């Protein structure tokens, strides 16, 4: 009886310690939440503009979260806790996804909402981590890895093969040269954004991204004002649900 009571007490103390040491989920401040400071200002601006455009044009919500450390919590537990709090994606569509990077733990996870599990599958999420993120991160190219990963996630989620890396579409044919089309995609997008089109209503950029992403939301995307302009509006979860789908990895 004493042994049983001792074990129960020990388990309760361990459980309490785990709860107390669990890392807090930061507030969702936008599509890009770079708490590990691995992105340059230009990279963050490009990512934010692209993800806001993706949200407004297609309804798919992808957010990026980088943290210095998991502080002892498991990657999967913290990722699921984050999406449950942020509620990425539309209610009823569940078309949200999270790219989570923990720098000190050298750990990455892609978490997918219920509505994307049939397209952005566990297997494809794993390919993005292994063939896109890990090679770039091992070279210290964190921004490039995140940019290309997000582009692939968006391409798969919107069924647009043109912006998916060859190493993800055909992993058996992967070559060391990278994906030129993907690089050009973000260069063009960045130059357009820097030229100031997004500040003048976003119509030109909206039309460009609409054609690239296939306009899966139907007629609600590029109405007057394109994406509504990247400099205005906010980014918040729409009530999407998650069930633990996705993939984890490291570098």
* Tens-place pLDDT, residues 136-194: 999 999 999 999 999 999 999 999 988 899 999 888 765 544 455 556 665 665 565 55
What is the C-alpha separation between 131 and 125, in angstroms, rounded? 10
Q: What pLDDT does 113 receive?
A: 98
Residue 248 lies in a domain: no
CATH classification of the domain holding 56: 3.10.310.50
Residue 181 lies in a domain: yes
Residue 210 lies in a domain: yes
41-44 own/partner pairs: CB under 8 Å, 24+ apart: 42/190, 43/143, 43/146, 43/147
Residue 239 lies in a domain: no
Q: What is the rounded average pLDDT of the residues 113-119?
A: 97
Other beta carbons less than 10 A from residue 248's beta carbon = 18
Other beta carbons less than 10 A from residue 51's beta carbon = 23
Q: Please state whether 159 falls in left (phi above 0), alpha (psi between -120 and 50) or beta.
A: left
Residue 147's domain comprises 28-234
| Strand-pair category, 242-250 with 61-67 | unpaired
Number of domains in the chain: 1
Question: Quick check: 228 pLDDT over 50?
Answer: no
What is the C-alpha separation between 196 and 95, in angstroms, rounded? 30
Per-residue tokens: 173: 């044919």
What is the C-alpha separation between 171 and 190, in angstroms, rounded? 27
Question: Quick check: 215 pLDDT over 60?
Answer: no
Kindly provide the residue ranges of all beta strands, DSSP E only, lying in the chain, ordered along the sequence: 32-34, 61-67, 96-102, 107-113, 242-250
Q: What is the rounded average pLDDT of the residues 44-64?
A: 95
What is the C-alpha separation between 82 and 27, in angstroms, rounded? 9
Q: What percentage of the chain carries pLDDT values higher than 90?
A: 61
Which residue(s) pair with 108 in the sheet?
101, 249
Q: What pLDDT does 172 receive?
A: 77
Q: What is the rounded average pLDDT of the residues 237-250?
A: 94
Residue 121 lies in a domain: yes
Residue 44 lies in a domain: yes
Residue 13 lies in a domain: no
Residue 68 lies in a domain: yes
| 163 against 196, higher pLDDT | 163
């Amino acid at each position: 009886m004493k042994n049983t009571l001792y074990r129960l007490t020990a388990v309760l103390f361990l459980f309490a310690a785990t709860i107390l040491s669990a890392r807090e989920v930061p507030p969702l401040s936008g599509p890009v939440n770079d708490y590990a400071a691995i992105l340059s200002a230009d990279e963050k601006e490009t990512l934010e503009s692209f993800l806001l455009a993706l949200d407004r044009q297609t309804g798919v919500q992808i957010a990026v979260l980088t943290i210095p450390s998991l502080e002892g919590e498991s990657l999967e537990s913290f990722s699921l806790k984050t999406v449950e709090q942020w509620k990425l994606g539309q209610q009823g569509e569940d078309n949200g996804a999270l790219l989570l990077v923990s720098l000190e733990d050298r750990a990455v996870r892609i978490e997918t909402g219920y509505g994307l599990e049939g397209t952005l599958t566990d297997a494809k999420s794993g390919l993005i981590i292994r063939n896109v993120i890990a090679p770039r991160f091992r070279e210290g190219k964190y921004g490039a890895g995140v940019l290309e990963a997000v582009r692939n996630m968006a391409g798969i989620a919107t069924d647009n093969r043109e912006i998916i890396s060859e190493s993800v579409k055909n992993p058996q044919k992967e070559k060391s040269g990278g994906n030129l089309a993907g690089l050009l995609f973000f260069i063009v997008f960045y130059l357009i954004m820097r030229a100031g089109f997004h500040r003048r209503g976003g119509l030109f950029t909206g039309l460009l991204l609409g054609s690239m992403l296939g306009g899966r939301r139907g007629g609600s995307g590029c109405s007057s004002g394109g994406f509504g302009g990247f400099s205005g509006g906010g980014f918040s979860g729409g009530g999407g649900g998650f069930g633990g789908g996705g993939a984890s990895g490291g570098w």
